[in-house]
Amino acid sequence: MGGHLSTLEENTMLFEEMRLTCTDFTEDVVEKLKAKMPLALQKAKGLDFIPYTVRDGAWQPGPCDGICWWTNGFWPGEMWEMYRLTGEESYRQEAERAENMLDAAFVEYDSLHHDVGFMWLISSGADFRMTGNDQSRKRTVLAANLLAGRFNPLGFIRAWNGDCVGWAIIDCMMNLNLLYWASDHTGDPRFRKIAMAHADTAMRHFVREDGSCNHIVIFDPETLDVKEIPAGQGYAAGSSWSRGQSWALYGFALSFLHTSKQEYLDTAKKVAQYFISQVKDDWIPRCDFRQPAGDDLKDACAGAVAACGLLELSKITEGKDAQAFFDAALSILKALDAHCTDWSNDYPAILTRCTGSYHGNDHNIAMTYADFFLIEAVLKLRGDTFLFW
Ligand code: GLY
């Protein structure tokens, strides 16, 4: 075999070798998931909303936008992940129940936004790709058309509604995957071209020289001139909101996977190296990498997202890079498991030290999307190659 392996085969073998070094950790977390998630599911049964966070031991909905709340795809996504992990029908049924609930969001169109990829690619999109359900296919294509409809031809997908006409945000890198899927599925390149135009703009205007990123950039929607770069969910303008860094890290890695455009991989690696340099003391991201020294506010969610991105990077890079990305992902996951989780079975969520935004009140909370990315990372460590994105 020596000398005849393609780079892809060599990378795959190296990833296999690396992931097999930590099967004790992986299987320990899998056992904890299998013990915990039936309770999470049972507490969601019969609710007329989709779980977002936890208060007094009970699931709570998102704080606004009703069924259009941007994280509402993550709960069905978690259920599909558990279905992949266990094959148990109860998870599949709950995923389908939540996917059906999401149909009301299409009718509440005014409250929909740039995050329709988060809402449908991992719910109906996962359903279609796993089961072939045609209704799920239609939902996912419809969501892709809604996202494409937000494109400003100067080169960005606008965020939010109302007077945010020229706003774009780094989080949207993850929503591009819905568009890549739509082009692959329909054979129509428009969706992919929109996604790449947005990713190119994000590379130019969001990612800084040192690998840190802006959260929000406000463009003049007539000219693409930059008007303002506000703090967004981070500490201050010019700071470095860790979850935004993780959206960029994973988002650019995925854009490379879907397009093979080398600059996306180079950008993902640059953001990843910056991210690692900021977390390597205890491997739990601060909410903002530039928040005041001594302020220990954390965001476990940023860690879970980054771990997924780092694992994907470790599959598509070589040698020392691959090893460094894999080791960082594992260190983050071990730190989250040891210091940021509630594995008890009277609390339905897993990760508890998540932060919505630096200046908000939503500090040290549970968030279903954090748990989604934690489970996704575990599936990757298990060798499951299904890509939710
Ligand atoms: N704005 C999406 C997030 O909180 O990550």
Mutate to test the pocket of ligand 1, among 72, 119, 160, 243 (most ligand atoms within 8 A of CB): 243
Interior/surface letters 140-162, b for 16+ CB within 10 angstroms, e for the rest: bbbbbbbbbebbbeebbbbbbee
Q: What is the pLDDT of residue 18?
A: 98
Of the candidates 24, 65, 134, 171, the residue annotated as catalytic is 171
CB 383 within 8 A of CB 69: no
Enter the tokens of residue 42: 């049972």
Tell me the three-class secondary structure of the chain, residue by residue: CCCCCCHHHHHHHHHHHHHHCCHHHHHHHHHHHHHHHHHHHHHHCCCCCCCCEEECCEEECCCCCHHHCCCCCHHHHHHHHHHHHHCCHHHHHHHHHHHHHHHHHHHCHHHCCCCHHHHHCCCHHHHHHHHCCHHHHHHHHHHHHHHHCCEECCCEECCCCCCCCCEEEHHHHHCHHHHHHHHHHHCCCHHHHHHHHHHHHHHHHCECCCCCECCEEEECCCCCCEEECCCCCCCCCCCCEHHHHHHHHHHHHHHHHHHCCHHHHHHHHHHHHHHHHHHCCCCCCECECCCCCCCCCECHHHHHHHHHHHHHHHHHCCHHHHHHHHHHHHHHHHHHHHHCECCCCCCCCCECCECCCCCCCCCCECCHHHHHHHHHHHHHHCCCCCCCC
Q: What is the pLDDT of residue 6?
A: 87
Q: How far apart are CA 310 and CA 268, in angstroms?
A: 9
CB 213 within 8 A of CB 245: yes
Q: What is the pLDDT of residue 3?
A: 57
User: Does residue 384 have an active-site annotation?
Assistant: no
| Atom from ligand 1 closest to the CA of residue 301 | 5
| Atom from ligand 1 closest to the CA of residue 243 | 5
Q: What is the pLDDT of residue 96?
A: 98
CB 54 within 8 A of CB 60: yes
Residue 165 burial (CB count, 10 A): 14
- Measured in Å, residue 61 CA sits from the centre of ligand 1 at 15
- Measured in Å, residue 63 CA sits from the centre of ligand 1 at 13
Beta partners for residue 228, in sequence order: 218
Read off the pTM: 0.98
| Atom from ligand 1 closest to the CA of residue 70 | 2
CB 286 within 8 A of CB 296: yes
Q: What is the pLDDT of residue 2?
A: 46
Per-residue pLDDT of the chain (389 residues; tens, 9 = 90+): 445 778 889 999 999 999 999 999 999 999 999 999 999 999 999 999 999 999 999 999 999 999 999 999 999 999 999 999 999 999 999 999 999 999 999 999 999 999 999 999 999 999 999 999 999 999 999 999 999 999 999 999 999 999 999 999 999 999 999 999 999 999 999 999 999 999 999 999 999 999 999 999 999 999 999 999 999 999 999 999 999 999 999 999 999 999 999 999 999 999 999 999 999 999 999 999 999 999 999 999 999 999 999 999 999 999 999 999 999 999 999 999 999 999 998 999 999 999 999 999 999 999 999 999 999 999 999 999 999 99
Decide: residue 59, CB within 10 A, 0-12 exposed, 13-18 middle, 19+ buried: buried
Nearest CA, atom 5, ligand 1: 243
**322 Cβ contact list (under 8 Å, min separation 6):** 11, 14, 15, 18, 313, 314, 315
Q: What is the pLDDT of residue 8?
A: 87
163-219 pLDDT, tens digit each: 999 999 999 999 999 999 999 999 999 999 999 999 999 999 999 999 999 999 999
Distances from the Cα of 265 to the Cα of 82, 117, 164, 182, 361, angstroms: 30, 21, 30, 21, 35
User: Pocket around ligand 1: residues whose beta carbon is below 6 Å from it?
Assistant: 171, 233, 243
CB 316 within 8 A of CB 7: no
Q: What is the pLDDT of residue 124?
A: 99
- Measured in Å, residue 298 CA sits from the centre of ligand 1 at 15
User: Does residue 171 have an active-site annotation?
Assistant: yes
